[in-house]
Homo-oligomer: A and B are copies of this chain.
Amino acid sequence: MRAVVYKDPYTVAVEDRPDPTVQGPLDAIVRITTTNICGSDLHMYEGRTSVEQGKVLGHENMGIVEATGDAVDRIRVGDRVSVPFNIACGTCKNCAKGWTSFCLRTNPTEGMDGAAYGYANMGPYDGGQAEFLRVPYADFNLLKLPPGTEHENDFTMLSDIFPTAYHGCELGEVGPGHTVAVFGAGPVGLLAAYSALLRGAARVFSVDKEPDRLKLAASIGADPIDISDGDPVEQIVDANGGMVDRGVEAVGYQAHDPTGQEHPEMVLDNLVKVVRTTGAIGVVGVYMPQDPGAVNDLAKDGRVAFDYGTFFTKGQRMGTGQCPVARYNRELRDLIVNGRAKPSFLVSHELPLEEAPTGYDNFDKRIDGWTKVLLHP
């Protein structure tokens, strides 16, 4: 089969690889119909992780079940499925509580709970930016979709970024009537704003500096806040008539100020400032324990010197971490099926698999309008 592999910083290639096969009785092989490039793929692409050369990338996958192991009895060959990015065993203590993002058994890496396809440190699993993908514990992991091809570009958001964005709202305790500030209007940030509105928020501010993203934010009913126009906290407080109830972090440790300077603590500081006393903040932008490419020694060790004193004084709560996709994907699928959610609004480009390098390059450079790239093998 053909597959997108990591070569060197800023280089991916489409190469021939052996087709994956059923290796255990709980495996399934999925023929990929759509696979997306994720913002977090860019961490690897830019060489800021330890991902090995030759790794097949891609953790946002969907397709048709092609084969199953002997013990698979819920999923059938021919089923159209979404593949959550988490590879979870379904039977450990964390999976049993619905924390599939912290499965205790699928990642052999020392000290790491949770596995994923095609990702640095997340276990020895190939990704799905390819024609086929092997899915362990298929009955537990795969989400069935209605047959056919309808809603393909909506359903493809179910493997990662729609649930991840929604998880940001869950961790941030976003509910009906709340005012919400979402920092970051990349794909996850946009869907976090979208999720906040789905959950009944009264008003959502979407903070970024890219005009194409801010335009998309406005198109879904969020209030765009351009950090190039000045302090986002002041802008929000002015527009809202006060601080907001809840916040979502969808930027991560590589936060840049308008001049392009990296400030790992900038977004957390802004969230602590703009969220009112008793409020909650959900953090789904990625932070890393080690980041050799960081701007200072603290950041290299994953230390983020944000304004903790104010965080405490305001009595805020903060939830973090990778999303357990299976906790949300059924409900989000049903919203799509019933026409109540349409996350495909952010798709900007659909490319054949062979053009993945172009997709990576343009997405990484944040070429205007390259919001979200889907690959159709």
Contact = CB atoms under 8 A, between A and B. Distances in A.
Interface of A: 24-26, 69-71, 74, 89-94, 96-99, 101-102, 105, 113-114, 139-140, 166, 171, 175-179, 198-203, 253, 265, 268, 276-278, 283, 286-291, 298, 301-322, 326, 328, 330-335, 337-338, 340
B315 A317 contact: no
Given A199-B200, A265-B303, 15 more contacts: A24-B71, A25-B71, A26-B71, A96-B326, A97-B98, A102-B278, A171-B317, A176-B331, A177-B330, A200-B200, A277-B321, A298-B305, A306-B308, A312-B321, A318-B319
A140 B303 CA distance: 38
Contacts of A276: 113
A105 B330 CA distance: 17
B74 A113 contact: no
A332 B91 contact: no
10 contacts: A99-B278, A114-B315, A166-B176, A198-B200, A203-B338, A287-B313, A289-B309, A291-B309, A304-B309, A314-B321
Contacts of A113: 276-277, 314
B202 A340 contact: yes
**Chain A residues touching B, majority SS:** loop
A303 B305 contact: yes
B74 A200 contact: no
Nearest to A100: B96
A312 B286 contact: yes
Contact of A307 (B105, B202, B301): B301
**Quick one: copies of this chain in the complex?**
4
B338 A277 contact: no
A326 B199 CA distance: 20
Nearest to A25: B71
B307 A315 contact: no
Contacts of A175: 331
Contacts of A265: 303
A25 B202 contact: no
A204 to B, nearest CB: 10
A102 B71 contact: no
Nearest to A101: B315
Contacts of A89: 74, 139
Contacts of A319: 317-318
Contacts of A288: 309, 312-313
A288 B139 CA distance: 33
Nearest to A223: B338
A117 B101 CA distance: 32
A76 to B, nearest CB: 13
Nearest to A74: B91
Nearest to A252: B312
Contacts of A331: 175-178, 202
A290 to B, nearest CB: 7
B114 A277 contact: yes
B303 A307 contact: yes
Contact of A302 (B178, B309, B321): B309
A90 B317 contact: no
Contacts of A313: 287-289, 321
A253 B307 CA distance: 13
Contact of A74 (B94, B105, B310, B337): B105
Contacts of A322: 315
